[in-house]
Amino acid sequence: MSIFTSYFKKGSDPFTQLEQHGVQDDEISAMKTYVHQAQDRELYLANPRFLAKKLDMAENRAIDVLTLAAYENLWQLVWETYCSSCSMFLESADTLADIRLDYTCPYCQNEDVIHLDEEVVLRVTLKKEVRVLDPTRRDDPNFRAEIDNQYGPLKALQIINRKIFREILGERNLPANNSLGVQHLAVFFSDLKASTAMYQRLGDVQAYEIVRKHFNIVFSTVEKYAGSAVKTIGDGVMSTFLDNASALKSAMECIRSLQTLNDEYNLMGDDRLRLKIGLHAGPCIVVTMDHRLDYFGSTVNVASRLSSLAEGDDILFSRDVLAQDEAFQVAQKLGYITGQREYIKGFPEPMRLLCLDFDEE
């Protein structure tokens, strides 16, 4: 007898629903095979990192496929919170909106606000409509602890920073008027500096083609470094990364790729397109805006402001970006320059700005 029960039309395969979202045949068959063969405890409150390994997928790809599978009611997402001080389990929620904003730990009395990249962990449970898990066998906390030790728990921010999740499950998880905190996010704003001379010389159609190619460069480079292009603002893009080094590397590669694009189109001198990039890292909040998740707060505002202060072919960033060792090493290798103190709107203290300059002239 098939393990797929009558919830789905008899004889039909619930996993084929993933095809319409662009999930590949081999990915679907990997998930089907795994769901068929796994022990009950491997499909109950499972660590998505462990599943990625089992499905032989890159971590972020597995997260995207699980997001689509949750959207199609094959898996249930479960948000668990753990004390940031003693690591004890605090509570579990079906949606982000059900997560408490702050807590007092009953074990160690630690008081803190909840952060999506600290206390909140994502787990997934296979829906009973796909396969019924034996209630006496599925719940195995020791097994889960072992897996978490080996793979590390998946912090909620990692799925929230995926475009697919924000677009298709964001609002369902976090209705408008709700917000949740993030301890650390690297935010970069890129703005395209395209000359009016270039538009006049090439005409709107070809100029637009180049501008469109610039967007593709930024989107694909951000994705390559596991970041997320959150939104476009005019000719600008706001992107977010979990770590500062990836944001820096991605920003540098965007600038270099755009310089190559200039060469392909023979754009010289004042005609060349330049990226003005601003980068800042720190806490922010996640909210639902226009039916999708977005990031807000002063970290976002400062990054945006830095982009407008940049001159072109450069990355203007704050000292906070270098607080992470790997980012410091990347910036040092690229030869960053310490610049003037500048007053940033909304900040009482002037901020010392750092710069990576890729100007070829």
Tell whether residue 208 is a contact of Zn ion (CB under 5 A). Answer: no
Provide the strand spans (E) within the chain: 75-82, 89-93, 102-104, 111-113, 120-126, 179-193, 228-233, 236-241, 274-289, 292-296, 314-318, 337-342, 351-357
Q: Are the CB atoms for 55 and 30 separated by under 8 Å?
A: yes
Only segment of 86-94, 251-259, 279-287, 327-335 that touches Zn ion (CB under 5 A)? 86-94
Cα–Cα distance measured from residue 95 to residue 293, given in angstroms and rounded to the nearest whole number: 14
Q: In the complex with Zn ion, which residue's Cβ is closer, 89 or 328?
A: 89
Q: Are the CB atoms for 284 and 220 separated by under 8 Å?
A: no
* Residues within window 89-108 making contact with Zn ion, judged by CB under 5 A: 105, 107-108
Q: In the complex with Zn ion, which residue's Cβ is closer, 92 or 178?
A: 92
CB of residue 48 vs Zn ion: minimum separation in angstroms? 24
Dmax of the chain from CA atoms?
Answer: 73
Tell whether residue 85 is a contact of Zn ion (CB under 5 A). Answer: yes
Q: In the complex with Zn ion, which residue's Cβ is closer, 76 or 110?
A: 110
Tell whether residue 114 is a contact of Zn ion (CB under 5 A). Answer: no
CB of residue 93 vs Zn ion: minimum separation in angstroms? 18
Quote the Cα angle for 227-233-237, to 5°. 25
CB of residue 114 vs Zn ion: minimum separation in angstroms? 13
Q: In the complex with Zn ion, which residue's Cβ is closer, 88 or 233?
A: 88
Cα–Cα distance measured from residue 231 to residue 210, given in angstroms and rounded to the nearest whole number: 19
Alpha carbon separation from 220 to 168, 213, 215, 296 (Å, rounded): 20, 11, 9, 23
Q: In the complex with Zn ion, which residue's Cβ is closer, 83 or 126?
A: 83
Using the 8-state DSSP alphabet, how is residue 323 labeled? G
- CA neighbours closer than 13 Å in the CB half-sphere of residue 159: 30
| 31, 52, 74, 83: residue in contact with Zn ion (rule CB under 5 A) | 83
CB of residue 110 vs Zn ion: minimum separation in angstroms? 5
CB of residue 193 vs Zn ion: minimum separation in angstroms? 50
Cα–Cα distance measured from residue 163 to residue 168, given in angstroms and rounded to the nearest whole number: 9
Tell whether residue 86 is a contact of Zn ion (CB under 5 A). Answer: yes
CB of residue 89 vs Zn ion: minimum separation in angstroms? 10
- CA neighbours closer than 13 Å in the CB half-sphere of residue 62: 19
Q: Are the CB atoms for 54 and 48 separated by under 8 Å?
A: no
Q: In the complex with Zn ion, which residue's Cβ is closer, 83 or 120?
A: 83
Q: In the complex with Zn ion, which residue's Cβ is closer, 76 or 85?
A: 85
Among 221, 349, 346, 223, which Cα is nearest to 296's? 346
Only segment of 79-87, 131-139, 243-251, 261-269 that touches Zn ion (CB under 5 A)? 79-87
* Residues within window 225-264 making contact with Zn ion, judged by CB under 5 A: none
| 5, 60, 110, 183: residue in contact with Zn ion (rule CB under 5 A) | 110
User: Binding string to Zn ion for residues 161 to 200, with x set by CB under 5 A, is what?
Assistant: ----------------------------------------
Q: In the complex with Zn ion, which residue's Cβ is closer, 107 or 296?
A: 107
Supply the DSSP string of 77-105, one letter for each residue: EEEEEE-TTT--EEEEESSGGGS-SEEE-
Q: Are the CB atoms for 226 and 175 separated by under 8 Å?
A: no
The count of chain residues that interact with Zn ion, using the rule CB under 5 A, is 7
Only segment of 23-31, 53-61, 84-92, 261-269 that touches Zn ion (CB under 5 A)? 84-92
CB of residue 87 vs Zn ion: minimum separation in angstroms? 7
- CA dihedral 120→123→124→128, nearest 10 degrees, is -100
Only segment of 16-24, 77-85, 117-125, 242-250 that touches Zn ion (CB under 5 A)? 77-85
Alpha carbon separation from 9 to 13, 129, 310 (Å, rounded): 8, 11, 58
CB of residue 152 vs Zn ion: minimum separation in angstroms? 19
Binding stretches for Zn ion (CB under 5 A)? 83, 85-86, 105, 107-108, 110
